[in-house]
Amino acid sequence: MTILVLGCKGLVGSAICRKLLDDGREFIGVSRADLDLMNLEATQSIFKKIKPRSVIGAAAKVGGMVANKTYPVEFLVDNLTLQNNMLKAAFDNEVNRFVFLGSSCIYPALASQPISEDSLLTGVLEKTNEAYAIAKIAGVKLIQSFRNEYKKNWISVMPTNLYGPGDNFDLNNSHVLAAFIRKFYEAKISNSNQIELWGTGKPRREFMHVDDFASALLHVHDNYNSDEPINIGTGNDITILELAGMVSEISNYKFEIYWNKSIPDGTFQKLLDIKKLKLLGWEPSISLEVGLRNTFEWFQKNYHNTRLNVSMNS
Ligand SMILES: NC(=O)c1ccc[n+]([C@@H]2O[C@H](COP(=O)([O-])OP(=O)(O)OC[C@H]3O[C@@H](n4cnc5c(N)ncnc54)[C@H](OP(=O)(O)O)[C@@H]3O)[C@@H](O)[C@H]2O)c1
């Protein structure tokens, strides 16, 4: 069965393609250069041509807290449009299986920890990424509606914070871990021991290496069929302060860190409950220490050939 991977040049899409290739499975990866998912006609025509039995929707407008706050219109409109287009094309072209990617950050800001799947829509959202969250929640609801109304075997997954080779390292719109890797590496190569990090360092976050995520996602793709989304994470979290300590140690350089407390922290804790994933027979295998080293080394090697400047207006 041909699996179509949308967003195949992104952090997640490229890891899924690597895993499918390693597993010897039949797939086609499509990037924005091949197809702009904002264009319904073009999306329909690619689906008609490829006739996939299964689709993994790893394309979306993604960014960190500052980008989300600066471009709420783009995060809401682009994500609603591109996800509606991929689901409409999948329906019209009789796609049997669709995996939609939600996110841990679309759960209520004050959800009890660890966050279980049934806490979706039980409280107020985190203000800083509300537009992105509303669009993603609409996607999860659309998947459930296609299941109920048209009996489609489509599912949603809720990934935790992901990192790894190919991440977005633009300081204005990356996630925290990628930003730390870049800041520590650049301070080291410029012989500066001063680093500014945002917030208080107190919030707790869960981080998953994208290769572990790709393995979990394909396990879920093959084995899970329910209208409730399923969390994908490691089940462990650390403080941002501890994360900074780990990146500092891996970079093997002495730093003086200034925590800029004028930048808001965001949700205090976001740890996923991964009971359902474990019951399905999947466990994480890449520790944060190993994953961070792998990503830091990758970043060092690919410094001049990676995503250091990513426009949020495209
Ligand atoms: N990274 C995380 O920590 C995380 C956590 C939870 C959920 N997720 C979800 O995982 C999915 C993938 O995220 P990611 O981290 O891999 O982000 P990413 O690295 O930014 O990849 C997203 C991909 O989507 C493509 N894309 C954006 N707009 C498009 C359009 N109009 N037409 C075609 N392609 C388009 C992007 O292409 P360009 O590069 O050309 O813009 C990019 O290759 C998203 O649904 C995201 O919400 C990610």
Is 258 an active-site residue?
no
pLDDT band at 128 (very low <50, low <70, confident <90, very high): confident
Decide if pLDDT at 273 tops 90. Answer: yes
* The dihedral sign for the CA sequence 184, 190, 193, 199: negative
Contact between 128 and 264 under an 8 Å Cβ cutoff? The reply is: yes
Count the neighbouring beta carbons within 10 Å of the beta carbon of residue 77.
15
CATH topology of domain 3-168+206-235+270-286: Rossmann fold (3.40.50)
Q: Provide the mean pLDDT of the chain.
A: 94
Q: Which of 32, 175, 271 to mutate to test the pocket of ligand 1 (most atoms within 8 A of CB)?
A: 32
Catalytic position from the list 132, 163, 185, 224:
132
CA of 99 to the centre of ligand 1 (A): 14
CA-based torsion, 194, 195, 199, 200: positive or negative: negative
| Residues 8-31, mean pLDDT to the nearest whole number | 97
311 has pLDDT over 70: no
SS3 string, the chain, reads CCEEEECCCCHHHHHHHHHHHHCCCCEEEECCCCCCCCCHHHHHHHHHHHCCCEEEECCCCCCCHHHHHHCHHHHHHHHHHHHHHHHHHHHHCCCCEEEEECCHHHCCCCCCCCECHHHCCCCCCCHHHHHHHHHHHHHHHHHHHHHHHHCCCCEEEEECEEECCCCECCCCCCCHHHHHHHHHHHHHHCCCCEEEEECCCCCEECEEEHHHHHHHHHHHHHHCCCCCCEEECCCCCEEHHHHHHHHHHHHCCCCEEEEECCCCCCCCEECECCHHHHHCCCCCCCCHHHHHHHHHHHHHHCHHHCECCCCCCC
161 lines ligand 1 (CB under 6 A): yes
Tell me the pLDDT band of 31, cut-offs 50, 70 and 90: very high
Kindly indicate the confidence band of residue 306, based on its pLDDT and cuts at 50, 70 and 90: confident
pTM flag (> 0.75): yes
Tokens read off for 98 = 């669709």
Mutate to test the pocket of ligand 1, among 4, 5, 9, 11 (most ligand atoms within 8 A of CB): 11
| pLDDT attached to residue 103 | 97
Higher pLDDT, 265 or 203: 203
Residues 42-67: tens digit of each pLDDT: 999 999 999 999 999 999 999 877 88
Q: Ligand 1 centroid to 246 CA: how many Å?
A: 26
pLDDT confidence of residue 254: 79
Summarised one tens digit per residue, pLDDT across range 80-98 is 999 999 999 999 999 999 9
pLDDT digits (tens, 9 = 90+) for 215-254: 999 999 999 999 999 999 999 999 999 999 999 999 988 7
37 close to ligand 1 (CB < 6 Angstrom): yes
- The pLDDT tens digits for 140-187 are 999 999 999 999 999 999 999 999 999 999 988 788 999 999 999 999
Candidate from 261-270, 273-282, 300-309 with smallest mean pLDDT: 300-309
Which atom of ligand 1 is least distant from the CA of 13?
16
Instruction: Say if ligand 1 is within 6 A of residue 247 CB.
Output: no
Q: Which atom of ligand 1 is nearest to the CA of 136?
A: 47
Q: How confident is the model at residue 314 (pLDDT cuts 50, 70, 90)?
A: low
**Cα–Cα dist 116/249, whole Å:** 33
Predicted confidence at residue 202, as pLDDT, reads 97
Instruction: Tell me how far the alpha carbon of residue 9 lies from the centroid of ligand 1, in angstroms.
Output: 8
Q: Is the CB of 7 under 6 A from ligand 1?
A: yes
pLDDT digits (tens, 9 = 90+) for 63-78: 877 888 899 999 999 9
Q: From the centroid of its chain, how far is CA 27?
A: 21
